[in-house]
A and B are shown apart, each in its own frame.
Chain A
Amino acid sequence: MSSHFEHQGSGAGREEPRRQPPNPADLRRHPPQGETCLRIRGLVRDYADDELEGPLRAAVELHVHDCRQCALALARAEHEVLWLRRVARAEPEPQLKRTFAADTVQRLLRDLGRETTSGLRLPPPAAAAETPPLQVAPRARTPRGHRVLFWSLLGAAMALLSAVGLFAGLGEMEQSNCLVAAHVLDVYDESGTLLRHGATLDVGSTVRTGRDGNGAFEFRDREQRRRGTLQLNGDTTLRLGESGPVLVQGSVEVDAREQMALALADGTRIELDGGRYYIDASDYRAHDGPLDGRLGNRPRVRVEVVAGEARIARNGTETELAVHSQQVASFGGFGPVDIAAVPSDAELSNRLFPGPRDVQPVPAEEHALVGEVFERLMGAPRPAAGAQVTSYFWRGNMRTTCVTQVDANGFFRVDPQYAFRSDFVVLLVQPPPGRSDLGWQFIDARPVLRTGGQPRLPEPLVLTPSMAIQGDVTDGEQAPLLGVRVVPCVVDELFGLLMPLVDSVSTDESGAFTLQQLPTSLGPHQQLGVLLLHPDRASRYCAIPLPGSLGARAGRLSLTMEALRQVQLQLPPGNRSVEVLEELVDAPAGTAVLSYRVQPAVTPVALACGRGRLWLRRGGALLPLRPATDPQFGSVYRPEEGGASVALRQPLCTMPGAGAFQLVPEFRHMHIEPAAGPPVQLAVVHEDSRRSEPRAQVFAVGTAADGQRTVRFLGLTDYAGELPAALLDSEHEVVAVGVGGGLAHRTVSDNAAGSTLLLQRCGTVLVGPALRPPQGSQHQLLAVRFEPAAGMAQAGPFVRHTTAAEGWIVDRLPPGDYTLQIGNRRLPVTVAADVQVELR
């Protein structure tokens, strides 16, 4: 990063334009913490104006990710711009006389009349009269001879309007249209309201699709005749102007029934005959670049004609270019429009993932799932060549796992031998070998889109830089522990599952450890943790904050391991050794256990173990070992015949004594096979607003014959927040997890009836001063452990971290009763929606 600053510094005042200076009052109120902060402050206003490119832009993004003060400065800079743009939008458009151009010519002639008009070619009087300025009917076929004027007028008008952000301000346009949303997923209007099927958009409306979203819109004219269908892909913004749709950013597929027009925000106008088109303006904002042509001829907009004909009139050009069927036009900056034949069908798949790379499309296999993986470090995203993608999906009656490598262009392809028919796919992405600077992208479910019949992921997967997390492990008396095995893992707070992550590390002689490649974000109700394993200490699980979070930056982690305890086991005598299991303290029930081989004897046998609960495995059964007082041997642990073994379940990972330790991958989407039977129409809506929740993850929870809890992933809700799913007879509870972490659960009693799940809002807990770490102490990170009361959706305890930077607030807690633990203090607390509870 420093090299970019140096470049900027050396160029300042000569080649590189100076940056907008930071607000001095802002600097006084929130002094920069160092030289880097100071430099970043000098960039935030240009960032807010979208005038930073490449490394500088990435440098700001990277820095504000870690620096709260600079993040606030950036927010203020963006706020400034926001208000100015709002003023601009509210500003009436300058009205100019329609005869201005003709009047100007007349004035010129008057002026020249005093001199000479020889050598001038006068305009034919009829021409101006036939084509009054800005009187344009988009549907009418303009005579070819007049089309140049037609487009130049439109171009000029659109250029000015786009410049002031008034795409809908074509008040003199006679056409008035509306859009009707047909199928939308993660699509919002300008107020941020999620659009629903059937919503009508009026002139002036803006629709925006989220990164994962898409939407199909019917474009209708004033007489409500369908002119065409617009398929918006992810991260796309479209504004409905009076003269037609304006693609502000992103990509759109147009299926035009008859002639229609579409504009780009730089004033480019694209007239489409009936046919199919793909228009990609994902890098569109780069158009507003310097005028000196430094952008060169890098193509940034693609207009691909699948069928039909498009005519492009760019702002600033007098030429209208025709693009015929199976041709593609690309242009950008101030370069020319290049028109070429569509190379092959294979590139059609590439268009789905517009990315900043040289296009080398992967051959498209029909019905194979295609996705793309980027890495985002400094500057523009790059293909994450060599990354490994593990996909889990359902095919027929089988759950299939497919491991693929990302190719040099960032593509991966899943299961090319079979048709991919699942509506979702569960993915895990590991960084390329040797890239310890990137974090894993942990397992989560993603929808699959099928526009054009090709299954694809709606957006690229992005690997982001992951900062190392460092910590120290000590015994109870602060002495460093050497050789502690630290195993990072992810725990599911809902279902108590545990999944190992990257390779484990061991502490050095000072008890220190460093973890790399940890994920920088996790799905809702997942937490990052480590297993601490040591043969001479009581092994345990400990939740840790995510890399890059405020909690992770509060300082090194300080973890302790207690000494082993000695217990006496009174086991049924036999000739063969038996297995005794010990649960790991603080780990979700049934996830990780230590395993000991014990030879039973007539007298109790001694076992050095931790403080977790003990179980005896005999045959296939697990019997809890309970402490008892024996008149002959004193305190002993005995197996409790008939004791419930549900709490332990099948352990996912075991550590047999001092030998090998193996973790068995398990995650909540593991069981996704469908059940037979009539489907239940499940709907997930917000409890307060009754707004539907697309992309909610829905699970069926049941109890198996052996009493163990089973979790089955049913799928993701559709754009309307609905999901048809078949349930087993034994499954009576359905749990839905919203995109933002909201939780809904209910008991479904009848497969035939539809069921609505209400997403609950979250509450917050404020840790009072008495419970916070002492001021000035080294560790200003507070781990708060919440143990849900029985009957709540959460299966196991979960841990949240908070620091002074967060005001010692723990938020996004599902409502319910908890037993809360801070250090050795245990407190009952009731969390309610939208309420902050202070702990004293």
Chain B
Amino acid sequence: MLRVQAGDLEAFEQLVERYQRMVYGLALSMLRSPEDAEEAAQDAFVKLFRARDRYDRGRDLEPWLLRIAGNACRDLLRRRRAAALPSAAGGNPDDDPTAHLADPQSEQQEHQAGMQQLVRHELDRLSERVRLPLELKYLRGLTNQQIAAALGISVSNVKVLVAQAKDILQSRLERLFEA
């Protein structure tokens, strides 16, 4: 990073190569579109380079980069939402864990197709607020601290949101099994 701070683009390219998967994985979870994720990841690295003078050498680079990447994703989301008509008129799906249950028959087919797909399916149906920490933690393998840095929330909030996501997930899966 010191070389990057000195304006060494070769070092910057190496830095991108080192962190690109982590940043891209984060962006993919947040944006759920490969194209958008790639764009946001590039945004993040460009912003990092532009802000290199503000980098505190005494601190880890990774949380800082994750925070920049999280902000880049949120910026892109805002731009996308501003460009598109609002479609999410339903409200918070977490208010009623069973409100968005799909047709039991199709759920049953998914269950037959495999428990993993079912869990993945229900995970996708969680609200963004709780899905994102859960997905980053278990699917992207980020630590609580990394998630907190990326989402701009506290570690405590990360834990609470992860637990809430698990509760909702478990509740929905139990309902499906009972059905």
- Rounded to whole angstroms, the CA-CA distance of A19 and B158 in the bound complex is 10
- A88 to B162 alpha-carbon distance, docked (Å): 15
- Please give me the residue from chain A that is nearest to B2 by CB atom: A318
Residue in contact with B141 in the complex, picked from A46, A104, A128, A165, CB distance below 8 Å: A165
Q: Which of A91-99, A235-243, A391-399, A528-536 contacts B (4 or more CB under 8 A)?
A: A91-99
Interface pair A100/B20, CB less than 8 Å apart: yes
The one of B17, B46, B143, B169 in contact with A107, judged by C-beta atoms closer than 8 angstroms, is: B46
Chain A binder among B70-78, B83-91, B132-140: B132-140
A360 interface contact, C-beta 8 A: no
Kindly state whether residue A790 has any CB partner on chain B within 8 Å: no
Contact bitstring A483-508, B, C-beta under 8 A = 1, else 0: 00000000000000000000000000
Mask, B147-173, CB within 8 Å of A = 1, is 000000011100110110011011100
Q: Which of A154-162, A457-465, A711-719, A821-829 contacts B (4 or more CB under 8 A)?
A: A154-162
B178 part of interface (Cβ distance < 8 Å):
no
Knowing A20-B162, A25-B170, A121-B7 are in contact, say whether A128-B13 is a contact too (CB < 8 A): yes
Please judge, given known A-B contacts A121-B9, A123-B9, whether A88 and B141 are in contact too, CB under 8 Å.
yes
CB closest residue in chain A, given B42: A104
Q: Do A20 and B12 have beta carbons less than 8 Å apart?
A: no
Contacts of B12 in A (CB 8 A): 105, 108
Query: What is the minimal beta-carbon distance from A614 to any residue of chain B, in angstroms?
Result: 64
Q: How far does the Cβ of A214 sit from chain B's closest Cβ, in whole Å?
A: 30
Instruction: Please tell me the size bucket of the interface on A.
Output: 35 or more
The interface residues of chain B, by DSSP majority, are classed as helix
Whole-angstrom distance from the CB of A155 to the nearest CB of chain B?
A: 7
> Is A100 a contact of B38 with CB atoms below 8 Å?
yes
Q: How far is the CA of A289 from the CA of B25 in the complex (A)?
A: 20
Encode contact with B along A205-235: 1 for CB under 8 Å, 0 otherwise: 0000000000000000000000000000000
Contact between B156 and A23 (Cβ–Cβ < 8 Å)?
no
- A84 is contacted by which of B28, B38, B119 (Cβ under 8 Å)? B119
Q: Give Cα A81 to B18, complex, Å.
A: 28
B21 contacts chain A at the CB level, 8 A cutoff: yes
How far, in angstroms, from A128 to B11 measured CA to CA in the complex? 11
B contact residues around A159 at 8 Å (CB): 21-22
- Contact residues in A for B143 (Cβ distance below 8 Å): 288-291
Which of the residues B7, B9, B20 comes within 8 Å of A96, measured between beta carbons? B20
Q: Would you call A572 an interface residue if the criterion is a C-beta within 8 Å of the partner chain's C-beta atoms? A: no
Complexed CA–CA distance, A163 and B37 (Å):
19
The reply to whether B138 and A87 form a contact with Cβ atoms under 8 Å apart is yes
Asked if A152 meets B17 with Cβ closer than 8 Å, knowing A160-B22, A290-B143, the reply is: yes
- A123 to B3 Cα, complex, angstroms: 12
Q: Mark A60-81, 1 if CB is under 8 A from B, else 0.
A: 0000000000000000000011
Cβ-defined contact, B138 with A107, below 8 A: no
B142 at the interface (CB under 8 A from A): yes
CA distance A51 to B25 in the complex (A): 22
Shortest Cβ distance from residue B37 to the other chain A in the assembled complex, whole angstroms: 8
Tell whether A103 is near chain B: CB-to-CB under 8 Å: yes
Complex: chain B residue closest to A267, CB-CB: B18
Q: Is A133 interfacial (CB 8 A cutoff)?
A: yes
A774 contacts B by Cβ under 8 Å: no
A288, B10: Cα distance in complex, Å: 30
- The reply to whether B144 and A51 contact each other, CB–CB distance below 8 Å, is yes
Q: A94-B21, A102-B13, A108-B9 are in contact. Are A85 and B116 (CB under 8 A)?
A: no
CA distance A419 to B133 in the complex (A): 58
Question: Would you list which residues of chain A between 172 and 210 have a CB under 8 Å from chain B?
Answer: none
Q: Contact check, B7 vs A119: say whether CB atoms are below 8 A apart.
A: yes
Contact residues in A for B10 (Cβ distance below 8 Å):
121-124, 127
Would you call B138 and A291 a contact (CB within 8 A)? no
Find the A residue at minimum CB distance from B7: A120
Contact A120 B170 (CB under 8 A): no
> How many whole Å from A123's CB to the nearest CB in chain B?
4
Contacts of A119 in B (CB 8 A): 7
Any chain A CB within 8 A of the CB of B14? yes
Residue in A81, A109, A160 with the greatest tally of chain B CB atoms within 10 Å: A160
Contact with A along B1-36 (1 / 0, CB 8 A): 000001111101110111111101100100000100
Cα of A18 to Cα of B158 in the assembled complex, Å: 9
Contact A101 B140 (CB under 8 A): no
**B60 lies within 8 A of chain A by Cβ:** yes
| Any B CB within 8 A of the CB of A168 | no
A698 to chain B, nearest CB (A): 42
Residue B145 lies at the interface, judged by CB distance under 8 Å to chain A: yes
- The distance from the CB of B76 to the nearest CB of chain A, in whole angstroms, is 15
B101–chain A nearest beta-carbon distance, Å: 17
Given contacts A96-B24, A102-B13, A107-B42, contact A156 B18 (CB under 8 A): yes
Which chain A residue shows the least CB distance to B46?
A108
CB pair B167–A25 under 8 Å, yes or no, is: yes
Distance from A135 Cβ to chain B, minimum over Cβ atoms (Å):
12
Measured CA separation A356–B120 after assembly (Å): 39
A90 and B24 within 8 A (CB): no
Q: Please tell me which one of the listed residues A19, A86, A152, A290 contacts residue B18 in the complex, with CB atoms under 8 A apart.
A: A152
Known: A20-B163, A292-B145, A316-B62. A94 touches B24 (CB 8 A): yes
Minimum CB–CB distance from B127 to chain A (whole Å) comes to: 17
Given A19-B159, A81-B138, A120-B7: A291 touches B145 (CB 8 Å cut-off): yes
A116 to B6, CA, bound (A): 15
Given B20, B63, B134, B142, which contacts A101 in the complex, CB threshold below 8 Å? B20
Decide yes or no whether A341 CB sits under 8 A from chain B.
Answer: no
| Cβ–Cβ contact A24 & B116, under 8 A | no
The 16 listed contacts between A and B (C-beta, < 8 Å) are: A19-B159, A23-B163, A25-B167, A45-B163, A80-B169, A90-B120, A94-B21, A104-B13, A104-B41, A105-B13, A107-B46, A108-B12, A108-B46, A156-B18, A164-B141, A292-B145
**Top 9 nearest A-B pairs by Cβ distance?**
A163-B141, A123-B10, A160-B21, A156-B18, A18-B156, A84-B138, A20-B163, A101-B16, A164-B141
Contacts A25-B171, A100-B24 given; 9 further ones with Cβ under 8 A?
Answer: A20-B162, A24-B167, A83-B116, A83-B119, A86-B119, A96-B41, A101-B14, A153-B17, A159-B22
